[in-house]
Structure 1
Amino acid sequence: MIASPAPASRYLIVSNRLPVTVSQKEGKIELKASAGGLATALSHVHGTEGSRWIGWPGETGQMDKSARAELDRRLNADGMIPVHLTTKQVERFYEGFCNGVLWPLFHYLLDKVRLDAWVDWQAYREANELFADAVARHYQPGDRIWVHDYHLMLLPALLRKRLPHASISFFLHIPFPASGVFRILPWRREILEGLLGCDLIGFHTHSYQRQFLSSLLRLLGLETQVDSVTYDGRMVRVGAFPISIDTEHFIKESSTPRVEEAAAKMREQNTECKILFGVDRLDYTKGMRRRVLAIERLLERSPGLAGKFRLIQVASPSRTKVEAYAQLRRSLDELVGRVNGRFSTVNWSPVQYLYQTMSLEDLMPLYRAADVMVVTPTRDGMNLVAKEFVACRNDNDGVLVLSEFTGAAWELGEAVLVNPYDIDGIARALQQAITMPEEERHFRMTRLRQRIQRWTVHDWVKSFDAAFAQVTSENERLRQSTVLPPEEVLRMKNAEHLVLVLDYDGTLVPYAGLPELAAPDKELYELLEALIAKPNIELHIASGRPRETMERWFGGLDAALHADHGFWKRARGATEWTTMGSLEAGWKEKAKVIMEEFAARTPGSFVEEKTVALCWHFRLCESQFAELQERELRLHLADLFKNHPVEVMRGNKIVELRQLGIHKGLIVSALSAAGPEDALLVAVGDDTTDEDMFRQMPPDGISIHSGSLASRARYRLAGPAAVRAVLRQLVEG
């Protein structure tokens, strides 16, 4: 049962193209609704009151100013907002980067990726900026923004920067590749971070979802859950939402007398010949050359089938200005000619090849008449042709031969599934389909039709909409409950005695690959000096780092320093370090041997020794392998040292084995006990080791988590930059 969506708020749909084709005839602007899957799928959403569709209207460079103004007026009247692109921008953004780099890469055709991809990357960024400006201009509080497809993968983050509290979602209509393929892209981080501006990211299948989450782990080092990742203080949901078709429309239209009569006529013309049918956009991902080669192989394997079947292959013209597509057309023409020349007779040819665009009205009779539907792309996000064929088969007959590398294969298991790279395997599947008994055909088709009737395009929209509403609500509650209010900043500024306890790594500075590289910068040092200069502020810098490092970096400041999670303390104005406990012996040497073994077999990791702890760092490692090693190490240490006075901690890309009872909570407890009654205690930290501080905070204190992890802190800031911004407010005015 699909959950009902929340009460409708206005949608802003954003896609590369508007759902219309614009033309100008005899000075008059004409708008023709597109028949594409996306336009059909979102027509209901776009039709809701006040919703807008933002996108490129097509080439308008030949229009004068008055015609352009008239076009914009007409589009606005129909709820569409044009984003006008110059011819050069279209060439570099759309044809260059989108279709010359992202399209082949995401379809695993690495040899098709342009060698000069860097030339068009800037155009891709600029186009996404233009779309972001357009969305921001028309955004109203409460709007929900739904961005579509690979052309606009930077857009969510650009919108998040302009509209921090907006509800933003994204759906990818093509496959998301395995992380090992995706990482080939030089701008992989920018693309991932662009998508993470969303509240919800949708894919067709769980496979694409997993591969995206794997890329987040491997390339950004983000810890992910099965269907979510926490990023920049927000929950980003990641889900599988397989798009479908308007099943009832296809059932109804394919049952009209016109379609029935046309289909019957085709069958009469092919009474002794099975009809195999394929319809594809002319694209190198659609597997048409291999399909024709499979026909050749079928006739080589089974010469007796000559004259008993015919493949009707429709290839719709596509991207005709791109050389790779022109080359594909020439190659396909030659291949069809060769196969037909080899096997044709006076009355029969194995392949009937049509290079033309067919309307849905013309396709439906072919869907109804075909004995076998051949859908064998080498990779496809979903492929709705397969579902259209099934929907039109009101007779519960016909066989679907389907590539296992389509999103549709995930749902349509009763099809005859094939590996599109295995030409001999396709030939065997075609022979199986041609000779399949009637009972088996009916069984398979009945199951397929039941499935597409249970899950239509309307269910797709409702499912995505409900998930979007839920995560939007979750993030709004999180934001309302954890955002640091201006009143609390004012309370800190006005405090008679403000005690500031600041963690260092991840709070005052971002994490670095190596601990030594995270030294304080000049700006931070000056900010700390300004805080110390305020007579009402008592500054404490608390870190898990060794006291030698703390002394080297902050020894010149008149601030209290705490090292090794509070074991070492240098009081304000003092020069000597004192301890806040005693050392337990007998565990560190044994633990160090184990950690060094893990470091030796995990390239990029290393062991750091502290007074009361040992740390295994894995920030520079291959993420997925390091995560496995980290879990094994934690379990091993927990079991081996369960009777020792130590505890195993999971920090930010570290595993720490530290002496029991030594933690930053001791710092807060001591300050609470020693401070004056009117003191306001504020603790800021980012890691699991800082949760001990927050646990010991007095009721009227202010605890602040830096980052996006789950925390018991009362408030949250996005990261070191946001923490510094608040600290600057304390010293200004």
Structure 2
Amino acid sequence: MARLLLVSNRLPVTVKVEKDSVAVVRSPGGLATGLSRPHERSGGVWIGWPGDVSRLSDSQRSQVEAQLAGLRCVPIHLSASEVARYYEGYANRVLWPLCHYMLDRVPRQDRDWDVYRKVNERFADLVAKHYQPGDTIWVHDYQLMLVPGLLRQRLPDARIGYFHHIPFPSSEIFRTLPHREELLEGLLGADLIGFHTVSYVRHFSGALLRQLGLDTDIDRVIWNGRQVRVGAFPMGIDTHVFESLAEDPSVLEDVASIRRNAQGQRILLGIDRLDYTKGIPRRLLAVQRLLEREPAWRGRLRFIQVAVPSRTQVDAYATYREKVNELVGRINGLYGSVQNVPVHYLYRSFNEKQLAGLYRAADVMLVTPVRDGMNLVAKEFCAARPDEDGVLVLSEFAGAADELHRALVVNTYDVEAVADAIEQALEMGESERRERMRSLRAQVKQHDVHWWVASFLDRLQGLPTLSLRSTRGGLEALTDLKGAPHLSLLLDYDGTLVGFAPRPELAAPDDELLALLGKLVARPDTSVSVVSGRPRETLEAWFGELPMGLYAEHGLWSRPAPGQPWQMLEGVTIEWKGAVRAVLESFAARVPGSFVEEKSASLVWHYRQVDPEFGALQARELRLHLADTFARQPIDIMPGDRVVEVRPRDVHKGRVVPQATRGLPPDTRVVALGDDRTDEDLFASLPPGGLAIHVGNKPTRATYRVSGPAEVRQLLAALVAP
């Protein structure tokens, strides 16, 4: 298998110091467990932060470095300031709450962005240093969202994957980030971007469409001439570990002890990091509500809530801890007695063996985050129940809810409904409990962490190899252009010479463009033609005074030189227009902001002013409807940049080339510039020696590529510069 370079914020190790000796030990956890096998088998390295080793002596640090090397771990050492600003600051004070829909927790000032970016650059530099041709790179999580794009700059032909372990929010939430475009462009450096659920994939696609204007075609999006794949890969756990622990004799002794101490009470269990996304206060309120409305359960319930300390240096977490403490005290004060209290609150860490004992002892497991990327606790509970008993109450806002359908799925924000679910779980009969748990265990065992790793890597490594150097920068074409004895320039208009406007009439040429075209047509041994989808009346009004060729409606109409009459292609029929117009107008009526533009032999439905996500869905529906309804008509249905155009079949820009180049010297270099699918027909029809320049990031047959109209003008200005 290919060598694997794993990249994560933290290395999968813990540095333990005992007097003068230090030891580097592997950390527990799903990611470390799942990736250990491919890490070892591939002979690759794992790159990340080993934790704070600044207080170690030189000798101790040397020991740590040697032990890390033995584990094939490459450390990136972060200063205290970098940790405070990159990790605790931007990653966990900005990205974490935003991705969990908690905008009120995002700081008012985005002070830590620069440090986040610089640390991501340090990670990319270190990965590039260790990269060997043929390696596969897998970057993990929100702390490193810029790394794939930075790596693509450094390693254009590398195979790069990225996995987002937390929720990806809706585009409406994501758009509130000041640096939203940079983060999206960072992720698009990957070949494959993975999320836990289909809904996160949909949210990511919506953000791409809204922020970058990129439309996702099922599971792929085009960026800088590359196909970037996106997909849902729900992460699992090492089920064998928890299943084995649950049968361990010492664990079974702990289970018996927990149940004895409960003295016949039914045991509710919650196990979470003490994080404001986990919904602990609402869970406590649901337990309180059950005890309040159903006095019969008082004294018969024991709710064990394990809260693992988390991000204790962040103020928001300290405040959250105080809130949880107050709720626990209030409930125990209201419903406790001298002999017993309903809530047993444990603020500390537990090892896997202790967790397995708690899982096995519980009657009901409460996993009720207000938002969670996946939540592996829910899966651990199922794996730790080989007795096929116990009931899982699971928030619909956890990614795991997409898989664990036989749990009691609840709306965490509805405290009354959560209380109802707890009561339902407590009163559930044995046969139903076992049927539900068997189904849950089958799902968890089939899709474990090893399945997750294999499915992602198989997809990533199975993608076709693309040479990203197939197109070169447009300014590199200058030598070819200036060296040609004669030039014929065929220029698209919208998206090439000018940017797109909300309505077609708003994209008229500015004075700078008209002056540039004037210089081009005055350049010796140079002919210029505008080849556009615009109506002939528009091109005549804008450019009729310039001595150049005009070709309208994608070549349907031609006027090779000023003063000559416009000529239409022969054999074109437009009998279909009335029926097609009716369909387009019906779509325009039901999609506010869209409109229909009619040309002499074509129709265009524009949706640039429509909500991007809704407009894209409607455009797909329109194209399918047109293709089905008019399958026998001689028309082509062309998707464009926020448009759907219906035009006569076999009318395309490629038919312009013979007319535009007729009578030119044989040593003329024919050069075409364009930005969309219609221009690919033009590129394909260029004579031998012709030169095509694509404008934008779509796949193209062109040899050269420029980013947009500004760079097109820069190229043309350089061509006419003295």
1:108 to 98, 101, 105: 101
Asked if the contact 1:510–1:518 (Cα under 8 Å) also holds between the matched residues in 2, the reply is no
Residue of structure 2 equivalent to 1:626: 615
Structure 1 CA distance for aligned equivalents of residues 437 and 19 of structure 2 = 49
After superposition, the Cα gap between the structure-2 partners of 1:203 and 1:633, relative to the gap in structure 1 and judged at 3 Å, is closer
Residue of structure 2 equivalent to 1:386: 378
Q: Is 1:36 aligned to residue 29 of structure 2?
A: yes
Asked if the contact 1:196–1:231 (Cα under 8 Å) also holds between the matched residues in 2, the reply is yes
The 5 Å alignment of 1:20-99 reads 20-26=13-19, 28-63=21-56, 71-99=64-92
- How far residue 464 of structure 1 moved from its aligned partner, in angstroms, is 0.2
Asked if the contact 1:376–1:401 (Cα under 8 Å) also holds between the matched residues in 2, the reply is yes
Residue of structure 2 equivalent to 1:304: 296
- How far residue 32 of structure 1 moved from its aligned partner, in angstroms, is 3.2
Give ranges in structure 1 of 5+ residues lacking alignment.
1-7
Q: Is 1:283 aligned to residue 275 of structure 2?
A: yes
The 5 Å alignment of 1:222-621 reads 222-471=214-463, 473-476=464-467, 479=468, 499-507=488-496, 510-513=499-502, 516=506, 519=509, 533=523, 535=525, 538-545=527-534, 560-566=549-555, 571=560, 575-576=562-563, 578-581=565-568, 602=591, 604-605=593-594, 615-621=604-610
Structure 1 CA distance for aligned equivalents of residues 579 and 245 of structure 2 = 75
- How far residue 557 of structure 1 moved from its aligned partner, in angstroms, is 7.3
**Relative to structure 2, which stretch is displaced further, 578-587 or 127-136?**
578-587
Structure 2 CA distance for aligned equivalents of residues 637 and 207 of structure 1 = 29
Q: Can you list the C-alpha shifts for 1:365-408, whole angstroms capped at 9, x where unaligned? A: 11222222221111111111111111121222222222222111
- How far residue 319 of structure 1 moved from its aligned partner, in angstroms, is 1.1
Q: Can you list the C-alpha shifts for 1:134-190, whole angstroms capped at 9, x where unaligned? A: 222222222221111111112222222222222111111111122222223233222
After superposition, the Cα gap between the structure-2 partners of 1:73 and 1:686, relative to the gap in structure 1 and judged at 3 Å, is same
2:132 to 126, 134, 140: 140
**Relative to structure 2, which stretch is displaced further, 495-504 or 121-130?**
495-504
Residue of structure 1 equivalent to 2:705: 717
Residue of structure 2 equivalent to 1:664: 653
Asked if the contact 2:157–2:466 (Cα under 8 Å) also holds between the matched residues in 1, the reply is no
2:642 to 625, 629, 653: 653
Asked if the contact 2:549–2:562 (Cα under 8 Å) also holds between the matched residues in 1, the reply is no
Q: Is 1:688 aligned to residue 681 of structure 2?
A: no
Aligned partner of residue 47 in structure 2, secondary structure: strand
After superposition, the Cα gap between the structure-2 partners of 1:223 and 1:532, relative to the gap in structure 1 and judged at 3 Å, is farther
Residue of structure 1 equivalent to 2:165: 173
- How far residue 281 of structure 1 moved from its aligned partner, in angstroms, is 0.5
Asked if the contact 2:549–2:660 (Cα under 8 Å) also holds between the matched residues in 1, the reply is no
Structure 2 CA distance for aligned equivalents of residues 406 and 423 of structure 1 = 16
- How far residue 648 of structure 1 moved from its aligned partner, in angstroms, is 5.3
After superposition, the Cα gap between the structure-2 partners of 1:601 and 1:422, relative to the gap in structure 1 and judged at 3 Å, is closer
After superposition, the Cα gap between the structure-2 partners of 1:639 and 1:447, relative to the gap in structure 1 and judged at 3 Å, is closer
Aligned partner of residue 365 in structure 1, secondary structure: helix
Count, aligned residues: 718
Asked if the contact 2:30–2:449 (Cα under 8 Å) also holds between the matched residues in 1, the reply is no
Equivalent AA in structure 1 for residue 71 of structure 2 = D
- How far residue 532 of structure 1 moved from its aligned partner, in angstroms, is 7.5
Asked if the contact 2:473–2:706 (Cα under 8 Å) also holds between the matched residues in 1, the reply is no
Equivalent AA in structure 2 for residue 687 of structure 1 = D
Q: Can you list the C-alpha shifts for 1:254-278, whole angstroms capped at 9, x where unaligned? A: 3222212222232233351222221
Equivalent AA in structure 2 for residue 686 of structure 1 = D
Equivalent AA in structure 2 for residue 655 of structure 1 = V
Structure 1 CA distance for aligned equivalents of residues 10 and 579 of structure 2 = 63
Residue of structure 2 equivalent to 1:4: none
Residue of structure 2 equivalent to 1:153: 145
Aligned partner of residue 157 in structure 2, secondary structure: coil
Give ranges in structure 2 of 5+ residues lacking alignment.
none
Structure 2 CA distance for aligned equivalents of residues 393 and 639 of structure 1 = 52
Equivalent AA in structure 2 for residue 430 of structure 1 = I
- How far residue 602 of structure 1 moved from its aligned partner, in angstroms, is 5.0
Q: Can you list the C-alpha shifts for 1:286-323, whole angstroms capped at 9, x where unaligned? A: 11112211221111232222232211111111111222
Asked if the contact 1:505–1:518 (Cα under 8 Å) also holds between the matched residues in 2, the reply is no
**Relative to structure 2, which stretch is displaced further, 493-502 or 39-48?**
493-502
**Relative to structure 2, which stretch is displaced further, 340-349 or 41-50?**
41-50
Structure 2 CA distance for aligned equivalents of residues 568 and 521 of structure 1 = 26
Aligned partner of residue 139 in structure 2, secondary structure: strand
- How far residue 337 of structure 1 moved from its aligned partner, in angstroms, is 1.1
**Relative to structure 2, which stretch is displaced further, 684-693 or 721-730?**
721-730
**Relative to structure 2, which stretch is displaced further, 281-290 or 103-112?**
103-112
Residue of structure 2 equivalent to 1:14: 7
Aligned partner of residue 433 in structure 2, secondary structure: helix
After superposition, the Cα gap between the structure-2 partners of 1:724 and 1:58, relative to the gap in structure 1 and judged at 3 Å, is farther
Asked if the contact 2:8–2:144 (Cα under 8 Å) also holds between the matched residues in 1, the reply is yes
Asked if the contact 1:233–1:718 (Cα under 8 Å) also holds between the matched residues in 2, the reply is no
Structure-2-length-normalised TM-score: 0.87
Structure 2 CA distance for aligned equivalents of residues 194 and 53 of structure 1 = 20
Equivalent AA in structure 1 for residue 369 of structure 2 = P
- How far residue 252 of structure 1 moved from its aligned partner, in angstroms, is 2.1
Structure 2 CA distance for aligned equivalents of residues 530 and 139 of structure 1 = 46
Residue of structure 2 equivalent to 1:3: none
Q: Is 1:130 aligned to residue 117 of structure 2?
A: no
- How far residue 686 of structure 1 moved from its aligned partner, in angstroms, is 2.4
- How far residue 364 of structure 1 moved from its aligned partner, in angstroms, is 1.6
Aligned partner of residue 440 in structure 1, secondary structure: helix
After superposition, the Cα gap between the structure-2 partners of 1:63 and 1:557, relative to the gap in structure 1 and judged at 3 Å, is farther
Structure 1 CA distance for aligned equivalents of residues 633 and 245 of structure 2 = 75
Structure-1-length-normalised TM-score: 0.86
Aligned partner of residue 451 in structure 2, secondary structure: helix
